[in-house]
Chain A
């Protein structure tokens, strides 16, 4: 069942973005930024976390999950440090994603050249 939900929700988010891409002049960069901000907003008003609980990877993997993770980290750190947490928390959860992206991207870039 969790596989079905992941497929339907994750695919659904991508399909909605495709509809926007095909029907507007927005580039994919615009859409990805919009989706990340949307995830952050939904995280801020407390909707995205339950959504991830329910849909699993279908909500975690789209880039909206990245926006939500930024807010989730801030909220975690705010509990611990107060207002300072707004700054220390930004990369609390997303830091892992960014660090792994930088490390894997650097490693791959050392090994491979562009092809097509």
Chain B
């Protein structure tokens, strides 16, 4: 009895797989490339503009990131970023503007449950894991590097 239930499930899984429509691979990849590439090109223009000022390399990068993050937040507020992502997929999610979108979208949404326990508490509901695992991963990698190369390395 157990076995037949298992067999029924795995047979149905095969039916489901067969009936799952294939994504439009070529179109999705092209659009992701286009949207992601466009955002990075825009960022490069911002980067070049800041490079013209008397700033250090780190400050130029920082100012560029802050600008793209601000743009991502505003475009999200205008209700456009999700439409961009519906077509551009990962092209809109991967750039730092997408990171900004996850925080802004959550803030806008959870505002209804109050500014403290809604917006404040749940702002990082999507972006949180990126920060947590980016930090933990970075910590481990840096620790290993220091263990091998020493602090001065």
Contact = CB atoms under 8 A, between A and B. Distances in A.
Asked whether the complex places CB atoms of A and B closer than 8 A, the reply is: yes
B142 interface: yes
Contacts of A107: 73
Interface residues on B, range: 35 or more
A79 B68 CA distance: 30
Interface in B34-69: 34-41, 43-48, 58, 61-62, 64-66, 68-69
B78 interface: yes
A112 B108 contact: yes
B65 A60 contact: yes
Contacts, number: 257
B133 A14 contact: no
B141 A2 contact: no
Given A57-B44, A112-B78, A63 B98 contact: yes
B32 to A, nearest CB: 4
Interface residues on A, range: 35 or more
B64 A60 contact: yes
Chain A contact residues, majority secondary structure: helix
Contacts of B38: 7, 11
Chain B contact residues, majority secondary structure: helix
B100 A37 contact: no
Given A14-B36, A78-B146, A106 B119 contact: yes
Contacts of A60: 43, 47, 61, 64-65
B135 interface: yes
Interface of A: 2-3, 6-15, 17-22, 28-29, 31-33, 35-37, 39-41, 43-45, 52, 56-58, 60-63, 65-67, 70-71, 74-75, 78-79, 82-83, 86, 90, 93, 96-98, 100-102, 104-116
21 contacts: A7-B38, A14-B95, A18-B33, A18-B90, A18-B91, A31-B90, A32-B94, A36-B134, A37-B137, A40-B134, A40-B141, A57-B44, A75-B142, A93-B62, A97-B69, A101-B100, A104-B104, A108-B104, A109-B107, A110-B111, A116-B83
